[in-house]
Homo-oligomer: A and B are copies of this chain.
Amino acid sequence: MLRAAIIGAAGYTGSELVRLIHRHPELSLAVVAARDNAGKRLEQVVPSTRGVKGIGELMLEPFDPEQANALAKRVDVAFLGLPHAASAKAGKALYDAGVRVVDLSADFRLKSREAYEKTYGPHPAPELFEVAIYGMPELHREELKGARLIAAPGCYPTSCILPLAPLLRAGLIAKDGIIIDSKSGVSGAGRSPGPAYHLPEAAEGIRPYKVAGAHRHTVEIEQELSLAAGETLNVVFTPQLAPMTRGILSIAYARLLPGKTEDDCRAAARELYREGLVTVLDQGVLPDTLWVRGSARAHVGYAVDTRVSTVLAMGAIDNLAKGASAQAIQALNVAMGWPDALGLPEVAMFP
């Protein structure tokens, strides 16, 4: 049994970690930390824990990276849900103190320091770029075994890398001209209120934002797709806010190479996803974010418009589960040598 800390427990990835860790047979929630809410009981901040014994009454602590050694005596693994840069600083301190770290920020996802600093600014611990493992077990299983610093993948990236990677690896699609149209539930924007997330202005509208390369996840997507393709590639990535709480649906459009078929796409995905938590949908079945809500699984599906030789590679995930906290735990499971699904919900909450 590992003792776990959640640093940044007041946010949505934090509250999802609480939900998941509470039912994990090998993890116990030992420490919850939150900057602004320190001193409150967890149930005052994360109302889903009200009255749950051993959880709701946990006291939120402040966390200072300088106290990493003290924390290391109380926990074996720390999940970080902090803003970027802050997360790297905390991660380095805890890692150095011997705590296994699963970071849910973007700080350890990129392999290129240059790309990171161009996108996010100075990195407080660049020496860890080589240590951190990108925590997507379906694509990085071997590297994850025994990993002590895991970078949990971003939500948008998870939703489009999973359907595209098998096609790129198997050489079924052109490497240029990939277009990714993604729609996310509002929880992906985090817990801080703002005009764009105010229910009256978000509930009955759908809208793009940070298009044409402006969204930071573009770099992460391109890194992993380039890896799958074996060469550097660029994509068009269009994030959109959809009027719902959880879920991402990504549809990637790519040119199918001559002689390749829709069945080839499914076969490549089935082969790649024999292990892990990805369901490849049958021919004719199209994904729906509702089908994966609350679940650690991703759904991927394929369709081909034969008139123009274009493949639709579709992915649906719960942005807070497979797109964040559940995948973080899945990656830890693999790092520990446990089954991917250990302690994780695989049956979605339907409806």
Per-residue B-contact encoding for A266-310, CB less than 8 Å = 1, 0 else: 000000000000111100011111111111010100011111101
**A348 CA to B22 CA in the complex, in Å?**
11
Q: Do residues A186 and B199 form an inter-chain contact, with CB atoms below 8 A?
A: yes
Q: Is A259 an interface residue (CB 8 A)?
A: no
Q: Tell me whether A245 and B203 are in contact (CB under 8 A).
A: yes
Q: Quick check: A19 and B349 within 8 Å, CB to CB?
A: yes
Copies of this chain present: 4
**Bound Cα distance from A23 to B246, whole angstroms:** 22
Chain A stretch 295-351: residues in CB contact (< 8 A) with chain B: 295, 297, 299, 303-308, 310, 312, 314, 316, 345-351
A60 within 8 Å of B (CB atoms): no
Interface centre among A191, A202, A285, A286 (most CB of B within 10 A): A202
Check: A116 CB closer than 8 A to any chain B CB.
no
Whether B286 lies near A211 (C-beta < 8 A) is yes
Closest B residue to A248 by CB, please name it: B206
Partner of A19 from the list B280, B314, B347 (CB cut-off 8 Å) is: B347
Given contacts A186-B198, A212-B306, 18 further A-B contacts (CB under 8 A): A19-B349, A23-B347, A47-B350, A48-B350, A50-B279, A50-B281, A50-B299, A55-B347, A186-B199, A193-B198, A205-B244, A206-B289, A207-B286, A207-B316, A211-B286, A213-B305, A213-B307, A240-B251
A-B contact pairs, 11 of them (CB 8 A): A19-B349, A23-B345, A48-B349, A50-B279, A176-B308, A181-B238, A197-B199, A203-B244, A206-B288, A208-B312, A212-B306
Top 4 closest A-B pairs, CB basis? A51-B279, A205-B290, A48-B350, A48-B348
